[in-house]
């Protein structure tokens, strides 16, 4: 690691994760590099990421996570192979990839979310007037018509359709994405949002679901729908509590539905403190 990148690269552990990653990402994006000393591709990717951290001059910080010593953190992020890189922004996972990408693809990945610090003022100016979902849909549809060979635009359109409340159109656009974009972190979040919305199709009312759970605490199907309804109707903590109850008492029910619901909820919530708190609760039940 060279001197220029020292101030932008740091080690991450369970004790510092909330402050140095989740809270810090509210002001500066944090790129997490999950690695290990025995991982040969990590030895290629790590120095490239450190070089980019120096080049971007504080536009993002690079957090190094040794999966051998920080197994709980690796589990929380669902890391299955290394190197895995995850971008955290505003307390949420925004994007990520697995494997040692070449330098050109690394730059392309970063350019989608952050700009070198010198360009920060220009970026803020461009974002001064928020675009409505309807405006975004119209802009993206025109851009796709003009450049149909740009699949990235199709993912952005799917996200805009979801923000505009057009869930069926959003799902159709998501399904049509090419394989490389289907695993993009934004596509994964959108899929989670759609799954939660589908869970309430033909579901009973909130009051009826509460009555069913009160009558039978082990009615996991009712508890699951109650959790989703609470989550989507403005009571996220209460909804997460229902999923935790399923995870604690019926971990294997419906192929691990409790854990799946928690992970889907984490992917859709913007409250970093709430997500961090319930990630710890979930981890305490799993590890």
Mean pLDDT across 198-204 = 87
Q: Are 66 and 37 in contact (CB under 8 A)?
A: yes
pLDDT tens digits, 70-88: 999 999 998 989 999 999 9
Catalytic member of 12, 22, 30, 39: 39
Q: Span 133-199: which CATH code?
A: 1.25.40
Is the pLDDT confidence value at 122 over 50? Answer: no
Tokens of residue 268, six digits: 């859709």
Residue 5 has pLDDT above 50, yes or no: no
Among residues of the chain, what percentage have pLDDT more than 70? Answer: 93
pLDDT at 187: 83
Look at residue 129 and tell me whether its pLDDT is greater than 80.
Answer: no
Name the DSSP class of 27: T
Any residues with CB less than 8 A from the CB of 228 and at least 6 apart, and which? 196, 199, 200, 203, 239, 261
pLDDT given at position 118:
56
Residue 257 pLDDT more than 50?
yes
For 219-250, letters b (16+ CB in 10 Å) and e give ebebbbbbbbbbbbeeebeebbbbbbbbbeeb
pLDDT greater than 80 at residue 200: yes
**Catalytic-role residue among 12, 32, 42, 246:** 42
Average pLDDT over residues 189-197: 85
What letter does residue 205 receive in the DSSP assignment? P
Cα separation values, 92 from 23, 115, 212, 256, 263, Å: 10, 19, 33, 23, 12
CA distance 236 to 218: 21
d(C-alpha 93, C-alpha 75), whole Å = 14
For residues 125 and 273, give the distance between their C-alpha atoms in angstroms, rounded to a whole number: 28
**Tokens 């209460």 identify what position?**
238
Task: Answer with the residue of higher pLDDT: 49 or 124.
Answer: 49
Average pLDDT for 116-124 = 52
SS3 190: helix
Catalytic residue check, 224: no
Fold held by 206-286? 1.25.40
Beta bridge partners of 148: none
pTM of the model: 0.48
Q: How confident is the model at residue 244 (pLDDT cuts 50, 70, 90)?
A: very high
| Fold matches, 3-126 and 133-199 | no
Give Cα 174 distance to the centre of its chain.
Answer: 16
CATH 3.40.30.10 fits 3-126, yes or no: yes
Q: Does 91 qualify as catalytic in the annotation?
A: no
DSSP 8-state code for residue 68: T
**Distance in angstroms (rounded) separating the CA atoms of residues 92 and 269:** 8
133-142, 176-185, 246-255, 274-283: which has the minimum mean pLDDT?
176-185
pLDDT, mean of residues 84-109: 89
Where in the chain are the domains?
A: 3-126, 133-199, 206-286
User: If DSSP codes are grouped into helix, strand and coil, which group holds residue 59?
Assistant: coil
User: What confidence category does residue 182 fall into, taking pLDDT thresholds of 50, 70 and 90?
Assistant: confident
Go through the chain and tell me how many residues it has: 287
Longest dimension (CA), the chain: 63
Query: Among residues 160, 27, 17, 156, which one has the least CA distance to residue 90?
Result: 27
The predicted structure's pLDDT at residue 130: 74
What per-residue confidence (pLDDT) applies to 114?
A: 85
Q: Judge whether residue 177 has pLDDT over 80.
A: yes
pLDDT at 6 over 80: no
Q: Are strands 92-98 and 84-89 parallel, antiparallel or unpaired?
A: antiparallel
């Amino acid at each position: 690691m060279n001197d220029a990148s020292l101030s932008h690269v740091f080690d991450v552990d369970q004790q510092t994760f909330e402050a140095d990653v989740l809270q810090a990402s509210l002001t500066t994006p944090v790129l997490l590099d999950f690695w290990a000393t025995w991982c040969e591709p990590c030895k290629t990717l790590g120095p490239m990421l450190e070089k980019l951290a120096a080049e971007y001059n504080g536009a993002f910080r690079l957090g190094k996570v040794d999966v051998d010593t920080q197994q709980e953190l690796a589990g929380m992020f669902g890391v299955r192979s290394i190197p895995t890189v995850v971008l955290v922004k505003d307390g949420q996972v925004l994007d990520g990839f697995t494997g040692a990408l070449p330098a050109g693809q690394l730059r392309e990945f970063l350019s989608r979310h952050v700009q070198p610090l010198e360009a920060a003022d220009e970026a803020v100016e461009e974002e001064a007037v928020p675009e409505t979902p309807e405006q975004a849909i119209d802009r993206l549809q025109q851009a796709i018509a003009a450049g149909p060979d740009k699949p990235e635009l199709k993912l952005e359109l799917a996200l805009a359709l979801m923000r505009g409340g057009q869930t069926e159109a959003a799902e159709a656009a998501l399904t049509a994405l090419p394989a490389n974009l289907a695993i993009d972190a934004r596509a994964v979040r959108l899929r989670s949002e759609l799954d939660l919305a589908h869970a309430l199709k033909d579901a009973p009312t909130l009051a009826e679901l509460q009555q069913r759970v009160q009558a039978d605490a082990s009615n996991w199907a009712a508890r699951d729908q109650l959790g989703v309804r609470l989550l989507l109707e403005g009571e996220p903590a209460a909804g997460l509590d229902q999923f935790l109850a399923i995870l604690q008492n019926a971990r294997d029910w419906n192929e691990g539905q409790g854990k799946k619901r928690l992970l889907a909820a984490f992917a859709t919530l913007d409250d970093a403190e709430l997500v961090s708190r319930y990630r710890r609760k979930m981890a305490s039940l799993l590890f």
